[in-house]
Chains A and B, each alone.
Chain A
């Protein structure tokens, strides 16, 4: 394997991982990117519709085109990508145990690691949706997209899409490729979670959207035969052969466990430079929290990759004097969760999620009983990103626990 002894290993060849690899290579650092799938590119690889990478490339491209662009930007002299390679463990050191189809078991000891393992959707079971478990036809978006991209027959005609997030509407496009007619959308919230326009377009296309509605039953033994929805008007049974559970993303963060993970995000605890609890291990992209766009994830990867390069030049004490930034009243979570003193690295944008809808919303950053920063927002929506200007942390004293709260 080329560059087995690369100073930095990036785990995951999606938008964040590839951007991190590019930033490292641009900084003159050799990188090994390990990807467990058969090809690099991450989830955008399976999303044919346009809109990927905008925040990073300022281009309006399909997922595969964005993935190709990111790959083409890598200097092969500095970046090696090993596909069909799984990371079995990541321990202090950092030390990695890899399993590679090509090379078997490998134990690596790079100087730094960038964790960029992305997200997945919560499946039907984790959502406690009752009913039968037909062998075929109960899907997540990810599975449907992969089936279409890999040419695996979907063998369905009529689909129900569960969820009203952005990704739920992207399923309408994928469904068309799969020859599926979407007969209804349903979501537990009382409004369309994506842009209102998406809902209007879907309805204009004749797709009813059932809000405040849950899946009450799934019928069928081999194939899905029908789904029963429960909404404000009671239950109704819809004959269909496919049900796609969309959205409800969670970080795919299996290499970090226990105290190294923020229970609120499900991703690793990091400071504003992307440093995790484990010295030498950085994290970037949607593994930090679900879910941002591919362009946002790539931007995080670029910054954290550059930070990892800087860390190799000057491996200062890891996260010394970093203070916890807590999620206070009204705040579901904050990323990054730690604030460290300035050290010349590039800071990630601070973002948080409100735990309920607020209009207007006043956000405070408090420490030691005093307010260090305040922002007035026209509104905050539950679990929608609230971006906080980078200067929110500017005057915060290093090493002092602080808390974001809404009033």
Chain B
């Protein structure tokens, strides 16, 4: 049996989830298809968790426009979804006169491109904003509108919103073949075949493979791996803003930033890899990051590292987004989202909807959307257990002690309409096992709860 849809969104990364959410606002049968067991399990799970303004993307590009729009939409829409934004601002710091010349040029370009919030600042300003930064910074661009977000809850909130508002969701469903059928497509997956009038390929790291199934080869995936270090929460008082270097056209350099969870993050490295599934940290990569961390904030040397991870960014052989509408084929390619998917997702979603909706004459906008709110995992926000008398006592029983995650929160995550299908997904939904002991105390119990609930 083939399930029939108007639109199939292939790939439940942050971009696919945002696109599915966009279509959920219309009278359309939309399905979100994910190859892996959980959403947000590819490029979206390993990034620097920063919401960029778009100012540091190449001006005049589609990427720049969509990241700018994505940033604005996130600020407007995230609060209602329960998603955090901490307005930390960012400092793009330079350490010598030569770099200062480039910084000034970058500043002028940003202003010429219409980004007028970034201002050139000197050492005194830098010291005031980042007192623990190593001495010797000669100048910076202070961008007050950049900030930090929760990279895990973001795709989840978009997907939950989409599903709550009528989008179908199918996980563990890698597309094995794409066949033209009438004006649309039939996608074969291990979970059954899906027919759709329009396919939107936002398969991220695997987008070129999905393209090939349909016979397209407009770009070649060039995955880039970025490793990160996460410092213990004890280090959080050392930094309250994002500190980054002047980017090159292909690499934004090693930045250091607080996280909404209350840690300090350092990264990424940039390594070209062949296999988009090569999620390895390396001794050299971790050593490079540790050295950079100590160089930027010497006091970090006295703090423990809580976690190491890597992300793989869906780069291509082209230095820009590869968003390709194919109105004759009813296939839209959303590839090459590089490293700006988290910031750009809502802008990309709007853009893609704008490409597709004119083709869908009967697609009326729904009168209203059912509101959706995800639990905030931001360290600065109130947790359910802070209520004196919650309805559920399990909301007062902490299971993960490092991150203060209660039994009630874990149960609530498992009871979601989009439940986590893996321990790692549960970790991303609740923060359980994400803390400094990495599960020494709680992993056995969390696994028992997960295995019990997942049955």
Which A residues form the contact surface with B (CB < 8 A)? Answer: 36-37, 84, 86, 88, 99-105, 120-126, 128, 130-133, 135-136, 139-140, 142-143, 146-147, 149-153, 216-217, 221-222, 250, 252, 254, 257, 263
- Return chain A residues, CB-CB under 8 Å to B394: 101
If A99-B398, A100-B396, A152-B448 touch, does A123 touch B439 (CB 8 Å cutoff)? yes
Point out the residue from B285, B290, B398 that lies within 8 Å of A36, measured CB to CB: B398
Decide: A216 and B398 in contact? CB cutoff 8 A. Answer: no
If A86-B398, A102-B393, A120-B441 touch, does A126 touch B305 (CB 8 Å cutoff)? yes
Q: List 29 A-B contacts (CB under 8 A).
A: A37-B441, A86-B398, A86-B401, A100-B396, A105-B388, A122-B304, A123-B439, A126-B304, A126-B438, A128-B290, A130-B280, A130-B283, A131-B281, A132-B280, A132-B281, A133-B309, A139-B443, A140-B438, A142-B441, A143-B440, A146-B445, A149-B444, A152-B444, A152-B447, A153-B451, A222-B422, A250-B304, A254-B402, A257-B234
- Return chain B residues, CB-CB under 8 Å to A146: 441, 443-445
If A36-B398, A152-B451 touch, does A140 touch B440 (CB 8 Å cutoff)? yes
Q: How far is the CA of A221 from the CA of B422 in the complex (A)?
A: 12
Interface status of B219 (Cβ within 8 A of chain A):
no
Decide: A142 and B440 in contact? CB cutoff 8 A. Answer: yes
Chain A contact residues: helix, strand, loop or mixed: loop
Mark each residue of chain B from 291 to 326: 1 if its CB lies under 8 Å from any CB of chain A, else 0: 000000000001011111100000000000000000
Decide: A104 and B444 in contact? CB cutoff 8 A. Answer: no
Q: How far is the CA of A361 from the CA of B420 in the complex (A)?
A: 56
Decide: B386 and A125 in contact? CB cutoff 8 A. Answer: no
Interface status of B424 (Cβ within 8 A of chain A):
yes
- Return chain A residues, CB-CB under 8 Å to B393: 101-102
B213–chain A nearest beta-carbon distance, Å: 23
Point out the residue from A131, A136, A151 that lies within 8 Å of B423, measured CB to CB: A136
Interface status of B437 (Cβ within 8 A of chain A):
yes
Q: How far is the CA of A283 from the CA of B309 in the complex (A)?
A: 35
Point out the residue from A125, A130, A132, A222 that lies within 8 Å of B305, measured CB to CB: A125
A145–chain B nearest beta-carbon distance, Å: 8
B435–chain A nearest beta-carbon distance, Å: 9
Q: How far is the CA of A232 from the CA of B439 in the complex (A)?
A: 32
If A86-B401, A130-B280, A143-B440 touch, does A125 touch B388 (CB 8 Å cutoff)? no
- Return chain B residues, CB-CB under 8 Å to A84: 397-398
If A132-B280, A152-B451, A216-B283 touch, does A123 touch B440 (CB 8 Å cutoff)? yes
Residue of B whose beta carbon sits closest to that of A101: B397
Chain B contact residues: helix, strand, loop or mixed: mixed
Residue of A whose beta carbon sits closest to that of B233: A254
Interface status of B286 (Cβ within 8 A of chain A):
yes
- Return chain A residues, CB-CB under 8 Å to B386: 105
What 5 A-B pairs have minimum CB-CB distances, sorted nearest first? Answer: A123-B438, A146-B444, A101-B397, A142-B440, A147-B444
Interface status of B279 (Cβ within 8 A of chain A):
yes
Interface status of B389 (Cβ within 8 A of chain A):
yes
Point out the residue from B396, B398, B448 that lies within 8 Å of A150, measured CB to CB: B448
- Return chain B residues, CB-CB under 8 Å to A250: 304
- Return chain B residues, CB-CB under 8 Å to A100: 396
Decide: B440 and A130 in contact? CB cutoff 8 A. Answer: no
Told that A125-B438, A151-B448, A152-B451 touch, could you supply 18 new A-B pairs with CB distance under 8 A? A36-B398, A37-B441, A84-B397, A86-B398, A102-B396, A104-B389, A126-B438, A128-B308, A130-B282, A135-B422, A135-B424, A147-B443, A150-B448, A152-B447, A153-B451, A217-B280, A221-B277, A250-B304
Q: Which of B402-455 contact A (CB under 8 A)?
A: 402, 404, 407, 422-424, 436-441, 443-445, 447-448, 451
- Return chain B residues, CB-CB under 8 Å to A254: 402, 436
A257–chain B nearest beta-carbon distance, Å: 6
Q: How far is the CA of A140 from the CA of B451 in the complex (A)?
A: 20
Q: How far is the CA of A120 from the CA of B386 in the complex (A)?
A: 27
Point out the residue from B282, B302, B396 that lies within 8 Å of A99, measured CB to CB: B396
Residue of B whose beta carbon sits closest to that of A105: B388
